[in-house]
Amino acid sequence: MRTAPVNSPPRNKAGRTPASGRPSPKAKARAAEIFARFAEATAEPKTELEYSSPYTLLVAVSLSAQATDVSVNRATRELFKAAATPDAMAALGEARVSDFIKSIGLYRTKAKNVIALSGILIDRHGGEVPLDRAALEALPGVGRKTASVVLNELGAEPAIAVDTHVFRVAHRLKLSRAPTPEGVERDLMAITPPPLRTRAHHWLILHGRYTCVARRPKCASCLIADLCPSRALFLGA
Ligand code: SF4
């Protein structure tokens, strides 16, 4: 019996992503087929957050941490009527911003951050949203995930932000086995065909939100079920 050399990459007949290292050609081919199916079903997936400018996008995304897009939209519809620019938001003030967004979790901290980031945009960026990861992540309440969503959505940098939906779907599909969002993001970027990276984030979120839901995923109607190593775990559950 031939044994693999100690340093050879792990064999993976199922085309799943190895626990570490670069994805195999088979794993890449399976990922390409998954994303091709998503593209066929939804050619141009969109964020479900409502916004009308880079600034309102940044605010909406920063408010969406641990909140649903529906609840954020409900709050920002009125908030953005009152203030849709950094100047107007700063003039509105923290107390009034809090009033507009109090239906969202962590609203006091988020209101404080929205006012603080608006001030920084005015003082350091001419009132514009910087399309630069380091500058975005330096803003109060803006972490890697928020920066990735903004940069990806505005076409500045393809990025696959990993939220709870993306994390779950990536693991169920064995596109990643990484235990952290950063690791999953790295694996997804490595395995996603470059022309599809901008849309991959949306496809994975929408798939996790509506089909591959946390409890009782809808495997029977899933358009990539035949490509999913986890299907057998859930069918009949
Ligand atoms: S087959 Fe089931 S577990 Fe796999 S991606 Fe589809 S919904 Fe999720």
Q: What is the mean pLDDT of residues 95-123?
A: 97
- Cβ(231) to ligand 1 under 6 A? yes
- Cβ(174) to ligand 1 under 6 A? no
Please provide the average confidence, as pLDDT, over all residues in the chain. 91
Determine whether 163 is an active site residue: yes
Determine whether 110 is an active site residue: no
Convert the pLDDT of each residue in 132-144 to its tens digit. Answer: 999 999 999 999 9
Convert the pLDDT of each residue in 48-101 to its tens digit. Answer: 999 999 999 999 999 999 899 999 999 999 999 999 999 999 999 999 999 999
State the catalytic residue, choosing from 99, 112, 123, 145: 145
Select the more confidently predicted residue: 22 or 13.
Answer: 22
Domains within the chain, CATH numbers bracketed: 25-43+160-230 (1.10.1670.10), 54-144 (1.10.340.30)
- pLDDT (0 to 100) of residue 234: 86
Convert the pLDDT of each residue in 118-133 to its tens digit. Answer: 999 999 999 999 999 9
Taking the centre of ligand 1 as the mean of its atom positions, its distance from the CA of residue 37, in whole angstroms, is 13
Nearest CA to ligand 1 atom 2: 219
Residue 110 corresponds to which tokens in the numbers above?
A: 């988020």
Nearest CA to ligand 1 atom 8: 212
- Cβ(12) to ligand 1 under 6 A? no
Start-to-end CA span in the chain (Å) = 40
Any idea what DSSP says for residue 212?
A: S
Taking the centre of ligand 1 as the mean of its atom positions, its distance from the CA of residue 97, in whole angstroms, is 40
Checking if the pLDDT of 13 tops 80, the result is no
- Cβ(217) to ligand 1 under 6 A? yes
- pLDDT (0 to 100) of residue 235: 75
Checking if the pLDDT of 20 tops 60, the result is no
Select the more confidently predicted residue: 10 or 163.
Answer: 163
CB neighbours of residue 152 within 10 Å: 21
Checking if the pLDDT of 203 tops 60, the result is yes
- pLDDT (0 to 100) of residue 6: 33
- pLDDT (0 to 100) of residue 26: 94
Q: 32-59: buried (b, 16+ CB within 10 Å) or exposed (e) per residue?
A: eebbebbbeeeeebebebebeebbbbbb
Amino acid at 9: P
Select the more confidently predicted residue: 144 or 11.
Answer: 144
Residue 224 CA: which ligand 1 atom is closest?
6
In the structure, what pLDDT confidence band is assigned to residue 22 with cuts at 50, 70 and 90?
Answer: confident
- Cα angle 131, 135, 141 (rounded to 5 degrees) comes to 105
- pLDDT (0 to 100) of residue 131: 97
- Cβ(234) to ligand 1 under 6 A? yes
